[in-house]
A and B are shown apart, each in its own frame.
Chain A
Amino acid sequence: MIETKDIHFTYRTGVEALKGVSLAIRDGEFVAIMGQNGAGKTTFVKHFNGLLKPTKGEVLIDGISTRAVSVAKLSRKVGFVFQNPDHQLFSETVEEEIAFALRNFGFEEAMVEKHVTWALNLLDLTEYRKASPFMLSGGERKRVALASVLAWDPDVIILDEPTIGQDHRQKEKLRQFIVQLNEQRKTVVVVTHDVEFVAECNPRVILMVDGEIVADGEAKKILTDATLTLSASIVPPQITQIFHNLADFGLPSDVIDIYEAKKILSDRLMEMRR
């Protein structure tokens, strides 16, 4: 359970990044934190594992304030996958890389071995076990970074802009993977500006503008609200854009999913044929 109570955060340079943010995320939820670049999304989620402490207000992870516990201890529960895998890769082999966090957290060697094998398997990286992480392709390095966080089986997984630079197929695989994680009762928090990706997942959406939360609800409701998306400088999903212009014909305007769109249009057009 992640709870933030009216938190404010100002950087040392004087920039006020969070201006009173209150939020509760229950166990097992799938949340997308959205907003323009600079809205404060990454700053916000860095409070969840204690990397940043609020200048005002409190952040509680399972009832304990992040000020009372070290980042290492919080990370045991809240895993954070950073945007750029190259910011963490440093080991000689993929195996070592994945074992790093496990050893930091004090796992016994036998357990380390088990978890590494499990994580490699989970992300299809078994063949690269002894490979150097620097020799892998961009997509493979991203998977290694993800594997190294999943290896210690945190309850919460935060993904910071996981879709950047990914092609369509990679994004689809990622989407399926996230759904799978969520089905295993992990809490998943995705920070993203990729509307199409969110439209395909339909999670709970938290919309941020200028350091504040301006909307919190179902993706369907938020991404189809034209005034909201305009004020947050978000481009609505393509399907939504199409349906907005068809509102005069009695068609629903809160459509984000392409399959739902197909059904609605098929029904209407077949009806017209009769």
Chain B
Amino acid sequence: MAVIETKALAYTYPGGNKPSLRDISLSIQKGEFVILTGPSGCGKTTLCRCFNGLIPHFYGGEMKGELTVAGLNVSEHPINEMAKRVGLVFQNPENQLFALSVEKDVAFGLENMGVPRDEIKKRVDWALQMVGIEDLRESAPHELSGGQQQRVAIAGVLAMQPEIMIFDEPTSFLDPLGAEKIFEVINDLNKKLAITVVLVEHRLDLASKYANHVIIIDEGKIALDGEPREIFNSENARLLGIGVPKAVRLWRLLKENGIALDGFPVNSEEATRFLLEVLKR
């Protein structure tokens, strides 16, 4: 069942002289872990904003084509209604934390929704636990590290219990270890809670192992859309200047050298496994 579906979606920002999105047609199924990537400026951030209604309601501008998210036509429903079904976690951890304590921040969305207090308490406890930050409950946001702040943001969105969660380059400001921790949390949400995940990322080396669907956008259009293995191994991916995982590049380099190995690894663990098998023979 498709939770996000677009047909010929096109969008131009108000005052923009060229469209940021042109002719985007894609379909994301329930429970998928999607990686959305592409060169800087390709439109991936714009697309994320379409999914939860910030476009067109917050930004205005001209939107054409069809866009259905969680069964709702986005242009016909206000953002605060979309927010109950699709959550969006932003790039900068600092600017999505409002309150003076972690607990109050995670409750923010629920308070806005008018959820009764007992229910808020329960959901806040649950969200903090799911994301692994119960010990930070009383902390103030500016006392936390970037990675911790980002987890608070995730908990705040999770508490609203959306069926889809979108992450717009959530690890940009984090070091690789912090990034790995965030990806693990996101993966947990996808595998344990069956939340459909759309992750916008450049760091494919670290993130690709979790995905089962990859979409590459270039200049506002979909360049590639499919299963990670076939996408990363395609010639197009390399030409687009995407940071294709090193394992894939290694396999390709060996092939160019006349060594065609079996399998298409997309991360270092798989590459190791395949190499071990070959070397043992």
Say if the two chains contact directly (CB < 8 Å).
yes
The 10 closest A-B pairs by CB, nearest first: A168-B243, A169-B241, A193-B175, A238-B246, A235-B176, A262-B253, A241-B268, A167-B40, A245-B272, A238-B268
Q: B1 near A: Cβ within 8 Å? A: no
Q: Tell me the nearest residue of chain A to B41, going by C-beta.
A: A137
* Contacting residues, chain B, for A235 (C-beta < 8 A): 176-177, 180, 206
Residue tally, chain B, CB below 8 Å to A: 43
**A-contacting 9-mer, from B22-30, B166-174, B189-197:** B166-174
* Contacting residues, chain A, for B41 (C-beta < 8 A): 137, 139
Q: A138-B40, A168-B241, A234-B177 are in contact. Are A239 and B272 (CB under 8 A)?
A: no
Q: A67 near B: Cβ within 8 Å? A: no
Q: A37-B174, A242-B268, A262-B250 are in contact. List 15 more A-B contacts (CB 8 A).
A: A37-B175, A37-B178, A167-B202, A167-B241, A167-B243, A195-B176, A235-B177, A235-B206, A238-B205, A238-B246, A246-B275, A258-B249, A266-B257, A268-B279, A269-B278
Q: A180 near B: Cβ within 8 Å? A: no
Q: B271 near A: Cβ within 8 Å? A: yes
Contact B250 A168 (CB under 8 A): no
Q: A65 near B: Cβ within 8 Å? A: no
* Contacting residues, chain A, for B224 (C-beta < 8 A): none
How many angstroms from the CA of A241 to the CA of B39 in the assembled complex? 26
**Partner of A270 from B145, B172, B245, B259 at Cβ < 8 Å:** B259
* Contacting residues, chain B, for A166 (C-beta < 8 A): 40, 202
A-B contact pairs, 13 of them (CB 8 A): A36-B175, A164-B172, A168-B243, A193-B176, A196-B246, A238-B245, A262-B253, A265-B254, A266-B254, A266-B257, A269-B259, A270-B258, A270-B259
* Contacting residues, chain A, for B122 (C-beta < 8 A): none
Within 8 A of A (CB), among B135-178: 145-147, 169, 172-178
How many angstroms from the CA of A272 to the CA of B278 in the assembled complex? 10
How many angstroms from the CA of A258 to the CA of B180 in the assembled complex? 22
How many angstroms from the CA of A258 to the CA of B236 in the assembled complex? 20
**Partner of B253 from A238, A246, A259 at Cβ < 8 Å:** A259
Within 8 A of B (CB), among A14-49: 36-38
**Partner of B250 from A245, A261, A270 at Cβ < 8 Å:** A261
* Contacting residues, chain A, for B275 (C-beta < 8 A): 242, 246, 265
* Contacting residues, chain B, for A164 (C-beta < 8 A): 172-173
How many angstroms from the CA of A36 to the CA of B147 in the assembled complex? 12
How many angstroms from the CA of A167 to the CA of B38 in the assembled complex? 8
* Contacting residues, chain A, for B91 (C-beta < 8 A): 165
Contact A239 B176 (CB under 8 A): no
A-B contacts, CB under 8 A, total: 104
* Contacting residues, chain A, for B246 (C-beta < 8 A): 196, 237-239, 258
Q: How far is the CB of B225 from chain A (nearest CB, A)?
A: 19
How many angstroms from the CA of A233 to the CA of B247 in the assembled complex? 22
Q: Tell me the nearest residue of chain B to A232, going by C-beta.
A: B177
Contact A167 B39 (CB under 8 A): yes
Q: B18 near A: Cβ within 8 Å? A: no
Q: How far is the CB of B136 from chain A (nearest CB, A)?
A: 16
Contact A37 B146 (CB under 8 A): yes
**Partner of B145 from A37, A170, A249 at Cβ < 8 Å:** A37
Within 8 A of A (CB), among B118-145: 145
Q: B63 near A: Cβ within 8 Å? A: no
Q: B3 near A: Cβ within 8 Å? A: no
Q: A239-B250, A245-B272 are in contact. Are A139 and B176 (CB under 8 A)?
A: no
* Contacting residues, chain A, for B259 (C-beta < 8 A): 265-266, 269-270
**Partner of B242 from A37, A168, A266 at Cβ < 8 Å:** A168
* Contacting residues, chain A, for B244 (C-beta < 8 A): 168
* Contacting residues, chain A, for B242 (C-beta < 8 A): 167-168
Q: A37-B146, A38-B145, A137-B41 are in contact. Are A246 and B272 (CB under 8 A)?
A: yes
How would residues 231 to 268 of chain B score, 1 for a CB under 8 Å from any chain A CB and 0 otherwise?
00000000001111111011001100111000000011
How many angstroms from the CA of A272 to the CA of B145 in the assembled complex? 50
Contact A165 B169 (CB under 8 A): yes
Q: How far is the CB of A86 from chain B (nearest CB, A)?
A: 12
* Contacting residues, chain B, for A137 (C-beta < 8 A): 40-41
Within 8 A of B (CB), among A122-174: 137-139, 164-172
* Contacting residues, chain A, for B243 (C-beta < 8 A): 167-168, 171
Q: How far is the CB of A242 from chain B (nearest CB, A)?
A: 5
